[in-house]
Amino acid sequence: MKKSIVKFFALSALVLFAACSSSQTKPLPKPFITGLYTADPSAHVFDGRLFIYPSHDRVSTAKPDNNGSQYDMVDYHVFSTDSIDTPVTDHGVALALADIPWASKQLWAPDAAFRNGMYYLYFPARDKENIFRIGVATSEKPEGPFTAEANPIAGSFSMDPCAFIDDDGSAYLYFGGLWGGQLEKWKTGTFEPSGREPGKLAPALGPRVARLSGDMLSFDSEALEVQILDEQGKPVLAGNNRVRFFEGAWVHKYRGTYYLSYSTGDTHLLVYATSDNPLGPFTYRGVILEPVVGWTTHHSIVEFKGQWYLFYHDAAESKVDHLRNVQVARLFYNRDGTIQPVIR
């Protein structure tokens, strides 16, 4: 009797180990989204289902420049799946430029949130004065279609919004990006067309964060700069371009710690910093992903069915910087909470 119990447990442990290791090594779909060029994937789990809110890249006649004019997108599609290794569903156009009263062009990296039975899509676009602002659109369904508010969020500027709702219900919108995203033109709090990045030895510009109001449609506070410190506790300098923030902020929480991850832009890395406060300061911790094919790198981090994932994009298929594909990789933490660099 005793022997058979031991045998039963040994067999169960073996089956469990085999199942876990195969789910951790099974190849993931590559690219994750096919059929359309997609980038800047913001991943969320709503009601047990994985939703991806990416940019929708397209062929454009806009001339490539340092402001990213070639990223000339005109709508968003939402994608979802029940399982990481089955094909995703494309839910069609969720929001189109033509239906956003204040926007003129460039629907760049969006994000989404859920609160009080309503889904919110946050998105950047240039307004009629050619200035990047952040808008919000609502839907009763995670896949949309979304209806845009008539005006951008008052007090918003720059791009790449990331919505984060903390365990206590406080909601935050992080945003900002250099060059095409114009963050360096907002150093004084108003838009200065000639604004430049700080000198190499000055503190780098950080992303901005504002608290979202209860209805998730406006800012409840002024946008604050998020400070990123180096491992010695000093502000990261603008010349430290393998570490300094460039664009694509993403915030998630793991075991009580806040993780701010972002792209370093012209050094093409995805890196992260941690804090015990969602408003920072954050301390730089290391690289998550080495450069991919293509100039831009942009990501999100999400837990789905007990496994953490990094969603990102590359231009490996098209070899054209602005025709990108969403990719996914498993993400692992060390015991001390540091993130293991992702192997693709």
Among 32, 108, 174, 175, binds ligand FUB (CB under 6 A): 108
**314 near ligand FUB (CB under 6 A):** no
Does residue 42 bind ligand FUB (CB under 6 A)? Answer: no
Burial of 92 (0-12, 13-18, 19+ CB in 10 A): exposed
Identify which of residues 24 and 131 has a Cβ nearer to ligand FUB in the complex: 131
Rounded-to-integer distance, Cα 223 and Cα 50, Å: 30
The reply on whether position 311 binds ligand FUB by CB under 6 A is no
Nearest 5°: the CA angle 144, 145, 146 is 85
Query: Does 159 participate in binding ligand FUB (rule CB under 6 A)?
Result: yes
Other beta carbons less than 10 A from residue 249's beta carbon: 27
Number of H helices, E strands in the chain: 1, 21
Q: Of the listed 160, 197, 247, 314, which one is catalytic?
A: 247
d(CA 76, CA 94): 6
Among candidates 164, 179, 308, 330, which has minimal Cα distance to 250? 164
Residue 141 or residue 242: which is nearer to ligand FUB going by CB?
242
Say whether residue 111 binds ligand FUB (CB under 6 A).
no
Annotation marks residue 336 as catalytic: no
For the CB of residue 181, give the shortest distance to ligand FUB in the complex, in Å: 7
Question: Residue 201 burial by CB count (10 A; 0-12/13-18/19+): exposed, middle or buried?
Answer: exposed
Q: Which two tokens stand for residue 321?
A: 């910087």
> Is residue 143 involved in binding ligand FUB (CB under 6 A)?
no
71 near ligand FUB (CB under 6 A): yes
Question: How far is C-alpha 44 from the geometric centre of its chain's CA atoms?
Answer: 10
Residue placing its CB nearer to ligand FUB in the complex, 220 or 321: 321
Shorter beta-carbon distance to ligand FUB: residue 159 or 339: 159
Our measurement of the distance from residue 285's CA atom to the centroid of its chain's CA atoms, rounded to an integer in Å, reads: 18
197 contacts ligand FUB (rule: CB under 6 A): no
Decide: is 39 part of the binding site for ligand FUB (CB under 6 A): yes
Amino acid letter, 254: Y
Question: Is 247 an annotated catalytic residue?
Answer: yes
Q: How far apart are CA 268 and CA 117, in angstroms?
A: 37
Q: What residues from 240 to 299 belong to the interface with ligand FUB (CB under 6 A)?
A: 247-248, 296, 298
What is the nearest approach in angstroms of ligand FUB to the Cβ of residue 247?
4
CB of 148 to ligand FUB, least distance (A): 18
Catalytic residue among 40, 111, 160, 197: 40
Q: Which is nearer to ligand FUB, 44 or 126 (CB)?
A: 126
The rounded distance, in Å, linking the Cα atoms of 31 and 27 is 11
- Total residues found in the chain within this entry: 344
Which spans of this chain sit near ligand FUB (rule: CB under 6 A)?
A: 39-40, 55, 68, 71, 108-109, 159-160, 177, 247-248, 296, 298
- Catalytic sites, residue numbers: 40, 247
